Structure 1
Amino acid sequence: MGRQDKDIFNPKNEADRAALAALYKSNEEGEGGWYPLGLSQTWHNGIHLTGQLNTPVRAMAPGRIVAARLRMKGGEPAKKPKEYPLGGPQFVLIQHDLKVLDKKSLTEKDPTKWTFRDVKLYSLYIHLYLPEASTQNIPWLKSFAPFLGPAPEADASGPSRKFARVAIARDEPTKKSPGLTFWGPPKKSGSSLVRGGPLSFLGMGTIVEVLAPTEAEESLAKKGYSKIKNPGDGRVGWVRSQANQLVEVPAFATQVQALEKGGCSKLDYPVVAGECIGLVGEVKAGTGMVHLEVFSEENVIDKEDLSQWHLFESDADDDPLCEITGLPKELEPLAYNSSALIKPEQVKKAFNELNDTQRQFLRSSITRNKSFWAVEWADVKKNNEAWAKEFDLTDDQVKAATELMWWKEAQEAGVSLPGKPLVYHYHSLALMEYLAAHLPAPPLFYVIRDKEEFIVEKSDDLNSREEVYVYDDVERRLGKINVPLCVKFKPRWV
């Protein structure tokens, strides 16, 4: 789904198809965590993917992290994932606003005739391991972690924290890289105060905390310097801040505070496809797993493709029980309302014995039901006594499930979610295949302007010295080309 990571799935690449088949097999022949139902015959709208502990979990498509749970409510640090009976509570939620080729454009060779349609969906990654102390592999966490302190008191008062972004090409004529020099504590020079010696360099885009100067330091501040905390090493120093060299980012302060308070935090952090957003958490001793789920408010499948998919809508009640009609006869035992299965072991046996045709049917199924993450589990047990008894649902399990819920918290925090938790769900891998097949076919030519990529479409608009890049997804080859192609600008990756 993007140029920037060589490991992104491409349906035309044989190695990628083999890797995808292995993921399907690992999930469908596993102990549980299948799509679209679980061991207790409730909806299970994501898939469990096993992996080596602490390996990167990557964003399936470009988007923005709109919510995450780093700490528990009240700012209490999350325990290790394996200490939670139903998996760790740390998660990342990404909103994707994509553009994919419509049906008629898939066979169109002339890029100037392509037409796109908008697709909005969300991907959820839960049971992650998000270590605050070691964040070098997780860019979004690395941005916030240096500024995270203990949870603020509910009645805390006083000045709020202030953050700014380095936004200057360079502050010294000899500097080749964009950014600002980080100067040490000020020193006295006669009767005045001057900056200290250079300590390090802060690249363009670096977020820093702006601190209030002391009365003695005011004279240096008046000369156009700002006192800051360096996120890299925590040292306090100074940078030049004239002419918008530091641009305040008030939203960042709000997000830092939300992460410190814990629970479901509202964020707004851009990610590219393939970017690491967390690590594989431990669910049992030595076993790593992540739950990947995709949902949307509107059905994202093109109307002309719906005949290849199977839509199932939940019954009208508010519980998560898989009660649907219209399943093929051989799949009916999987649904709670048409099943005599009364133990998780029986459900597992029925699922593991499905043939390839039956598994493909489930992969291409779309379910519209209340999100698992919005369920009130105490009410479910109370209102479905027979089911709770059949599957031995204990009060401890209700408590553990409730601890994982996040939808209500996200809504209260103002996260941009569908208006109601009644949403469309898809098999995560199957939808990735579908969307990848609706992207422009490689090779693609593009240019970079203001750090954004644009597809090369036709020759009438290229700057004379502009570099043109080519990306061939099939060969996974990336490089510059010296061909005077020109462009009609559109976002390159959708």
Structure 2
Amino acid sequence: MVKPSGNLIIGGEVFNINAPLVNWHEGPKWDATSEYCIPTNTERAPPCMTTGGGQYPYGPPPLPYTRRYAWRPGLGPNPKASAVKAVVKQFVVHHDGCASADMCFNVLHNERGLSVHFLIDNEGTIYQTIDLGLMAYHASDWNTYSIGVELCNFGEAFRRPDYYEGGRNGPRRDFAYCKINGNTLKAFDYTAPQIESFTRLGRELLRLLPNLPAEYPQSSPGEPSWETMKDAAIRRETYAGYVGHYHINTQKWDPGPFDFRKFCTQLRGSLCFPVYPRMEPKPDDRDRQRPVLPNDSGDLRQAAKLLYALNEEKADGGFFPIGPWGESALWHGGIHLVGKRDAGVFAPYPGRLVAARMGRDSAIGSTNFVLLRHEMTLGTRKVQFYSLYMHLANEPKHDKPAEWTTKDGWKKSQPGQVALLDEPIEAGALIGHIATVGPADANLARPQVHVEFFSEQFIDDPQWQLIDGTAGGRFCEAPEILGSIDANHDGKVAREELTQFFASYGGETVHRMVTLHVSEWTFEPNWGDALRVPKDFKTMKPAEIDAMVAEQITPGLWWDARVAKHCRLPADGVVHHYHPVTFIAWFKNQLIESAAQAAKTGHKVDEREVREVPKSITDDFGDKAGTSMRSAADVAEDPCNKNLTLEQMVQGFAAPECNQ
């Protein structure tokens, strides 16, 4: 048996990964780009017909072409790794209906003229047969943006329950039951080594393929779908994540009982709060090492109350959605959560760490920050948002720094400068530690972290109250907000009024507000010009205002054109801001309620309903013509495909519909 090298090939570049992978240059040398048949242990001398430039797959019927793959539109025959990373956003999971990966490669390459990027054998060895930059023939119309894997599994156990008995076709497997497109099926489960290897591969691909998230098709928030997407032909251009063959083709049932939710959860981590709800976590919380969200709605509600209190009862400022600046209501897009100095700060959701700054302080304390971009699925809709963690400790100097600071991207950064990164982050991962922030001369300096959630597009939901504050620039003029806080109705917002408002539980009136306004972290509109407008700054000389901005504001700014482009942020800095605690509770409640509903009326498998797999559906072995794996456009080069640019591919242009 060949020893796996772990050398994964993307766009001609070799990336050594922590997974038992053998590429096509190694071991059996299963090269899907070869236009000749390749002998295997299954078939030492495949009866392929030789033609001018190769050998036809032998069929039946014999197929009149020698190339078992195609170029991705816009990428050409030798794509660069950077281009591949920009385009690949889907991973189609299959089972092969075969006894071994050797048999699977023989069927695909020699017999049927098909291909797939990965094969995972019974004992967990991963075989890469083709560069991820090339388009394999495995998912028909979904080949353009996808990579694919064939998990070795005979599949149906109804007719052949003894298939694995005695070890003649691989290690013994348990039975698993699934209900796909209304068909209740008895199948063989996957081996533990297969799942472990696939999970390790998935973790590495999160790092290497930034547009392939650990998401899966859902019937309701968090609940996996076991049916074909109703709009599969359209979603092939926009969907990002993992899918089964049956999710995109009504005539398929592979990969059968594969548990997409469990698999993706292993990659994504556990949803959690950014800090512990209590300033001093309970012993069992410390043992867990992360403040995981409760699965009970009552416990979640209680934990959220504790987090609200860390801001509204413990902090002297840093409230949502405004903060006092003089006696004017300055927009404040997040909240300050008070904690113990050096306490951990955690990623509430999986995502990508896209920007960070460390090693820079100001007159009011730390300006270190981490910015995460999140793309999550809630039922049938995609939720895209960002989370910001400002006023962190200088993480690289910590005795136990967060893992992201050990990666090559960060190591190339300069202290005090904004580093543009692209590191995958699991939910619950440590991202930083609490530092001290606040003006010391006003006795307001204390350990706390600024947490902020925002999105470019409004995440529509009945619970949110949208407040459009764009007309006021950097200052809030919304009567819905100021009317409740300005207790004496003098048109000013004093710090005492603000702290009293939240101390008396007035915050409940703003928790569900979503405020649309320019971010406080942008350089434009000019801060000096903005502060010359409020009445309480009229007595200050322009030079004094500029000095104050330079000392207290500018050191914390980071949102400029360069950062916006890299992080996919709007250049003008106008975004929707959500109360972080309310957002976290809202998102988790969607999952809790959906799980409760699914337990009552959702997807259930009754073993008494098991029947033989209908003739109208099949797995990959049963699709002898390969129509579910190779489309006509794959074989006959679509003239439109040739005209697609890389930018059009990234934006999701459909090849047959693009403009020539």
Both proteins in one fold, TM over 0.5: yes
2:319 maps to 1:47: no
Between the aligned partners of 1:278 and 1:398, the Cα distance in structure 2 is 27
Listed one character per residue, the Cα deviations across residues 342-364 of structure 1 (whole Å, up to 9, x for unaligned) are 643343334433x4xx4222000
1:91-490 equivalences in 2 (<5 Å): 91-101=369-379, 116-134=380-398, 136-144=400-408, 252=409, 256-257=411-412, 259-260=413-414, 262-283=416-437, 287-301=446-460, 305-306=461-462, 308-317=463-472, 319-327=473-481, 329=483, 331=484, 333=486, 339-341=490-492, 343-353=494-504, 355=505, 358-375=506-523, 376-382=526-532, 384-389=533-538, 394-399=545-550, 400-408=552-560, 410-411=562-563, 414-439=566-591
**SS in structure 2 at match of 1:436:** helix
Between the aligned partners of 1:342 and 1:363, the Cα distance in structure 2 is 19
CA shift, 1:314, in A, is: 1.1
Listed one character per residue, the Cα deviations across residues 391-444 of structure 1 (whole Å, up to 9, x for unaligned) are 99854431121111111165377332134311100000001111112226569x
Alpha carbons of structure 1 residues 69 and 15: separation in structure 2 relative to 1, 3 Å:
same
Listed one character per residue, the Cα deviations across residues 466-487 of structure 1 (whole Å, up to 9, x for unaligned) are xxxxxxxxxxxxxxxxxxxxxx
Between the aligned partners of 2:387 and 2:490, the Cα distance in structure 1 is 31
Contact 2:565 2:571 in 1 (8 A): no
Q: TM-score, normalised on structure 2?
A: 0.42
Matched with 2:164 is none
Between the aligned partners of 1:289 and 1:369, the Cα distance in structure 2 is 24
**SS in structure 1 at match of 2:385:** strand
2:329 maps to 1:65: no
CA shift, 1:263, in A, is: 1.8
**SS in structure 1 at match of 2:331:** coil
Q: TM-score, normalised on structure 1?
A: 0.55
Alpha carbons of structure 1 residues 293 and 339: separation in structure 2 relative to 1, 3 Å:
farther
**SS in structure 2 at match of 1:401:** helix
Greater strand percent: which structure?
1
Matched with 2:304 is 20
CA shift, 1:13, in A, is: 5.5
Contact 1:381 1:388 in 2 (8 A): yes
Matched with 2:363 is 85
Alpha carbons of structure 1 residues 63 and 429: separation in structure 2 relative to 1, 3 Å:
same
- Identity among equivalent positions (%) equals 28
Q: Which moved more, 1:291-300 or 1:396-405?
A: 396-405
Of 267, 270, 274 in structure 2, the residue corresponding to residue 3 of structure 1 is 270
Contact 1:27 1:33 in 2 (8 A): yes
Contact 1:264 1:409 in 2 (8 A): no
Between the aligned partners of 2:269 and 2:566, the Cα distance in structure 1 is 29
Gaps of 5+ in 2: 1-267, 273-287, 608-612, 620-660
Between the aligned partners of 2:482 and 2:414, the Cα distance in structure 1 is 49
Q: Which residue type is aligned with residue 567 of structure 2?
A: V
CA shift, 1:136, in A, is: 2.9
Between the aligned partners of 1:278 and 1:320, the Cα distance in structure 2 is 28
Q: Which residue type is aligned with residue 377 of structure 2?
A: K
Q: Which residue type is aligned with residue 359 of structure 1?
A: G
Listed one character per residue, the Cα deviations across residues 436-460 of structure 1 (whole Å, up to 9, x for unaligned) are 12226569x9xxxxxxxxxx99799
CA shift, 1:333, in A, is: 1.6
Q: Which residue type is aligned with residue 379 of structure 1?
A: D
Between the aligned partners of 1:4 and 1:351, the Cα distance in structure 2 is 27
Alpha carbons of structure 1 residues 137 and 19: separation in structure 2 relative to 1, 3 Å:
farther
**SS in structure 2 at match of 1:132:** helix
CA shift, 1:341, in A, is: 2.8
CA shift, 1:311, in A, is: 1.2
Between the aligned partners of 2:538 and 2:476, the Cα distance in structure 1 is 16
Greater length-normalized contact order (CA 8 Å, ≥ 6 residues apart): 1
Between the aligned partners of 1:312 and 1:351, the Cα distance in structure 2 is 19
Contact 1:332 1:339 in 2 (8 A): no
Alpha carbons of structure 1 residues 409 and 53: separation in structure 2 relative to 1, 3 Å:
farther
CA shift, 1:11, in A, is: 5.5
Contact 1:32 1:38 in 2 (8 A): yes
Alpha carbons of structure 1 residues 50 and 457: separation in structure 2 relative to 1, 3 Å:
farther
CA shift, 1:316, in A, is: 2.3
CA shift, 1:134, in A, is: 3.2
2:316 maps to 1:37: no
